[in-house]
Amino acid sequence: MPYSRTSRSLSTADVRRGAVVASAIVCFAKSGYLGTPITAVAAHAGISPAYVFKLFPNKEGLFVAALERCFDLIHDALAEGAESSTDKSPNGVLSAMGAAYAALISNRDLLILQVHAQSAASVPEINAAFRSGLQAITMFVKKHSRASDEAVQRFMAYGQLCHLITTLSLTSERAPWARMLTNGMLHP
């Protein structure tokens, strides 16, 4: 993954880059890729739009950086889930990873950013970043759970169902169709 987890002294530009990416996650989650101008991200980060363009060549690059950070956070959450699992069977590890992911997406900005990335997948750079992140997560889940391909597919499909449940706040819906979709699904 492009995000570096090395422990080194960060330059002012590196610190600002991180702050801009964090602001981009919030802003893009609120207004989407098309609806978010660079000026909104700059204002949220407390810096000038010119400085944002110094750090990122264009809006696509900024959105991709936000999406990559989102996938880094997903990776970290899944890794923590896998490590903390007391049941080391494939299903036990998948369950712990799922719980860690459910906790992570309680931060709706990360969840909604992924939804917006799907809707902006016609932009080649965003499509490539989304595919790369999804590939990395899928392969990480496969390697660390040691689950079958079918179990990994089911895990990823449940993740998408979690997105729907969380995005639409279906756990509070009492209609039979919503109860059918949310049955057994717990979200913080």
Q: What is the mean pLDDT of residues 6-10?
A: 53
Q: How many residues does the chain have?
A: 188
Burial per residue of 42-74, b for 16 or more beta-carbon CB atoms within 10 angstroms, e otherwise: bebbebeeeebeebbeebbebbbbbbbbbbbbb
Find where tokens 């264009």 sit: 58
**Structural domains in the chain, sorted by start:** 60-182 (1.10.357)
pLDDT at 151 over 50: yes
Whether the Cβ atoms of residue 77 and residue 100 lie closer than 8 Å to each other: yes
- Give Cα separations from 142 to 63, 79, 101 (angstroms): 27, 12, 15
Q: What is the pLDDT of residue 107?
A: 84
Q: Measure Cα distances from 137 to 27, 54, 76 in Å.
A: 24, 30, 10
Model-level pTM? Answer: 0.88
Helix/strand/coil for 33: helix
49-68 pLDDT, tens digit per residue, is: 999 999 999 999 999 999 99
Statement: residue 113 has pLDDT above 70: yes
- pLDDT exceeds cutoff 90 at 4: no
The pLDDT, as a whole number, for residue 137 is 98
Dump pLDDT digits (tens) for 87-109.
999 999 999 999 999 899 888 99
Nearest by Cα to 98 from 113, 114, 111, 85 = 85
59-68, 110-119, 160-169: range with lowest mean pLDDT: 160-169
pLDDT at 7: 47
Nearest to 60 by CA among 133, 131, 127: 127
Residue 43, Cα to own-chain centre: how many angstroms? Answer: 23
The more confident residue out of 3 and 110 is 110
